[in-house]
Amino acid sequence: MAKETLNNIKLGIFISSGLLILIVSLYLVGRNQNFFGSNFYVRCRFSNINGLIAGNNVRFSGIQAGTVNQIQVIDDTTIEVTLLIDKKMKPYIHQNTYATIGNDGLMGNKVINLTPNMVPAPEIVDGGLLYNKKKPYTDEMMETLSNTNNNVEVLSRKLISTVEQINNSHALWSILNDTTIPKNLNVSLSNIKEATVRINDMSAVITDIAKDIRDGKGAAGSLVADEKVANDMKQAVAHINNAAQESEVMVARIDSIVKQVQQDINNGHGTAHALLKDTMLVSRLNNSMSNIEKGTAAFNKDMEALQHNFLTRGYFKKEAKKNKKAMKE
């Protein structure tokens, strides 16, 4: 008897759990399909429902709001779709809300998406008609995708030829394979870095100098800022101009003299001709010069003898002392 009771309890638990799972499953399925709870109807019209069927989901801003209840053909260009919407969503659905037919994922079932309009409008009424908005269908998207694919194909072909050209370029590969280039590049970069630092320092110095010049400091500053120096400079420039004019005159005179001398030489007249062309005069001059040298040597010896003479020796000592003192001062 006790065993029978135990078996009955086990059987009860078994059946109850099975029924409970069934009931819960049916409730969850029914809740998703709006079989329970209060609902209201909304209509929308399309020219092409693109495979939408009764039972497909309706989403309001991505939230599950209801299901497609009925599909009716009104005329050859209009199909009316009746939506069963959860009453809890009613305050959020306005009369100007857009209804579009979309896909649940790329390959999923069709869904109706309700998109709120930013423009204020009254709340939708039971059986009210919603606006529709045409969205690009999968076929249109596939066509665009096909065009994009063609473009990608062209691009990839060009890219392949470019890569081939790069691969076949010996010059480029020799540059890439040269191991000294990175080292040189590093050295160059470090040099550039150092140069940049120096340029920075120099620019700072130049800035200081420019500032000093602007403030009238130093020779350049006084040159720029001091009016007196500027006047002196003007005068100096004027004098230089005068000197240049006078030198021009002088050069003209020298030129005329040179021409005269040239003429005399050519004609065999004058001192220049005698000096440059007359060989007799030259030999005489040479003899005179050697006589002068001999005379000068003899004079030097006489002067040396005078320095050692007891009569004149004191005078020379005095002169030597005077010179020494002058040198010290």
- Smallest CA-to-CA distance from 101 within 145, 38, 57, 152 is with 57
DSSP string, 279-305: HHHHHHHHHHHHHHHHHHHHHHHHHHH
Residue 108 or 268 having the CB closest to another protein: 108
Q: How far is the CB of 149 from another protein (least distance, A)?
A: 17
Could you give the CA distance from residue 65 to residue 56 in angstroms, rounded to a whole number?
11
Q: Burial level of 114, CB count in 10 A (0-12/13-18/19+)?
A: buried
Q: How far is the CB of 55 from another protein (least distance, A)?
A: 6
Could you give the CA distance from residue 151 to residue 132 in angstroms, rounded to a whole number?
33
What does the block give as tokens for 147? 């065009």
Binding site for another protein (CB under 8 A): 4, 7-8, 10-11, 14-15, 17-19, 21-22, 25-26, 28-30, 32-33, 35, 55, 64, 105-108
Residue 138 or 222 having the CB closest to another protein: 138
Q: How far is the CB of 49 from another protein (least distance, A)?
A: 16
- Smallest CA-to-CA distance from 52 within 93, 105, 103, 106 is with 103
Residue 145 or 303 having the CB closest to another protein: 145
Could you give the CA distance from residue 132 to residue 160 in angstroms, rounded to a whole number?
46
Residue 63 or 297 having the CB closest to another protein: 63
DSSP count for the chain of H helices, then E strands? 9, 7
Phi/psi of residue 118, nearest 5 degrees: -70, -25
Q: How far is the CB of 120 from another protein (least distance, A)?
A: 33
Residue 23 or 197 having the CB closest to another protein: 23
Q: How far is the CB of 100 from another protein (least distance, A)?
A: 20
Residue 107 or 171 having the CB closest to another protein: 107
Q: How far is the CB of 83 from another protein (least distance, A)?
A: 16
Phi-psi label, residue 114: left if phi above 0, alpha if psi -120 to 50, beta otherwise? beta
Q: How far is the CB of 108 from another protein (least distance, A)?
A: 7
Residue 10 or 157 having the CB closest to another protein: 10
The residues, any chain, with a CB within 8 Å of residue 59's CB and separated by 6 or more, are 65, 111, 112, 113, 114
